[in-house]
Structure 1
Amino acid sequence: MGIFSFLKRQKTQREQEPEVSAPLEAKLSRTRSKFRDNLLDFMLGNKPINADLLEELESQLIMADVGIEATARVMSVLNRQVSRSEVGDSTALRQALQLELVKLLTAVEQPLEIPDSDSPFVILVVGVNGSGKTTTIGKLAKQLQDGGKSVMLAAGDTFRAAAVEQLQTWGERNNVPVISQGSGADSASVIFDAVQSAKARGIDVLIADTAGRLHTQNNLMEELQKVKRVIGKLDPTAPHETLIVLDGGTGQNALNQARQFHETMQLTGMVVTKLDGTAKGGVIFAIAEHLGLPIRFIGVGEKVEDLEVFEAERYVNALVSGS
């Protein structure tokens, strides 16, 4: 079958089942409202471009959580286009802005791809408490299973009994095996056992949960490094994906979390969750500008299909296009 690509599969699902889920515009309504009401409405009406309009645009981008650096990059391009008379009025400026926002995110639009292999593809999932980590694992497992992959889960969050129970519920619901030990067990030991079991059973994908922790807790971050070393003893190429789950509602703090986890764990991908319930979805632009790490998925609702592959143009269009 070759490489399993979420992007291709989800695009096909949207084409075949257009009525199954609400449009992305509706799911991102709060961030969309912030962009449109505060950022774009003052640009309506073919107004001439002047210094005041450009200054207002810059301020509104920063207020929309796009971030200072990402805003500076976008404004540099727009100012240059204005000075060359390539953009003549506010309508054209709005179109140019949309294009630059897409360009900013295109670099991090890299769907998770899982190659066929005799060994399990190991995904290590990290993040702080409350980010939606365990729920994301359950949804991802279901999507992988629907795509024809055999899946196993490792309940490595041994400090929170509810996390183990939640993962076991997902497993029972979808007939996915879950490897777990008692509360307070060594997380590295649980995940080591899970990798061994996945190899023995010929499982395609193992998704390992870890205890939620603050990015400032050095001792707990060191424990994550231990988990990574233990996995490497069974498969030197694993984990094949180290995925951080970020709560989009925390705004710029999500960026700080990602930066600290990346320094410790060398992240390979990100999931930004809870974007349906926040007006801070602009933080994705700041994350893209600062880290350049692939954004694999966005979480935009409670349903399994609401864990969506991140697509730059579709995301920007959902925020700024239309009436």
Structure 2
Amino acid sequence: MINKMIKALMSLVGITIGVAIYFYSLNIFPQLLLWPGIYKVLAAALSGIITGLIFYLISPWILQEGRNLANWVDGELSKIPPIEILIGSIGLTIGLIIAYLISQLLIQIPVPIVGSIISIIVYIFMGYIGVHVALKNREELFNIGSLLKISNPKDKSSKKVTKPSPKVLDTSVIIDGRIADICKTGFVEGKLVIPNFVLEELRHIADSADDLKRVRGRRGLDILNKIQKEIDIEVEIYEKDFEDIAEVDSKLLKLAQLIEGKVVTNDYNLNKVAQFHGVEVLNINELANAIKPVVIPGEEMIVQIIKDGKELGQGVAYLDDGTMIVVDGGRKYIGDTIDVLVTSVLQTAAGRMIFARPKMATEKSI
């Protein structure tokens, strides 16, 4: 129905243009004015019918090209942050207003066509300058807005409400699974954003011929289903892709910049790259290290020695959270649960390591 309406509208436009062309031709060919009235009407009608038919035939092509242009514009605009589009539009409007004022003087140039051509060039130039200057000085525009807010006494009494930033999940943190438990505790605020290209990567991993990769991929999909169905938190699937970017990590950083969000990951390398690009990161491993129980030298612990250590006579035990405890002289207690005294604690990038010695040996030495 819409296509038929567009074809009819294009035909009317063509008829109007055809009739206008006929009347314009009277100025070029004055002898046409000598024709009888019926011939003039027929000539105008014939001109309108011919151009109307031409426009009717090319309307599907014009419609298709219009759709392609709209899709291209939508794809390009989706890559630009909305705030930059707004600021650029303001700059463009100001530039075109200035160009209009200048063109009023230029069109008065007595030389034919020259004034119009120069006016078009001025419109293009001032539009570009307006957008460029506005985007280049967007920080100053933000500062002006903040100054206006400060000067308003009503704003001083009102409380500033900050909306939690969205959290973008990467593939590694989804497969890890701990993000579901963290969300369940309520410590994560704001919505979770799961990009469609991350879902595609999970699907490829789940369909892998390698058994380990296949299990990891399916675990990641199960974690996403658990978050969406069992946990009271907003989840958004981001459908758009960045086709000009090949790597998934780079796409994640671009998306986080676009929506002003934070990337949730446990990938050490992605963490470093995100810091370089100025993107905030929530690292699950850093959170896990931060909430491990704090122990101090001299504190007593009950542990089970499960294996020998690297050095002579050492035994190794583990806490429930996976923290390694190296017990000097603990090798002979392998398989036993004993009391130990903490001697030192070592914090590394990989985690926390505790050094201790058996309490019984300490008492005997005393």
* TM-score, length basis structure 2: 0.24
Greater RCO, CA 8 A, separation 6+:
1
* TM-score, length basis structure 1: 0.26
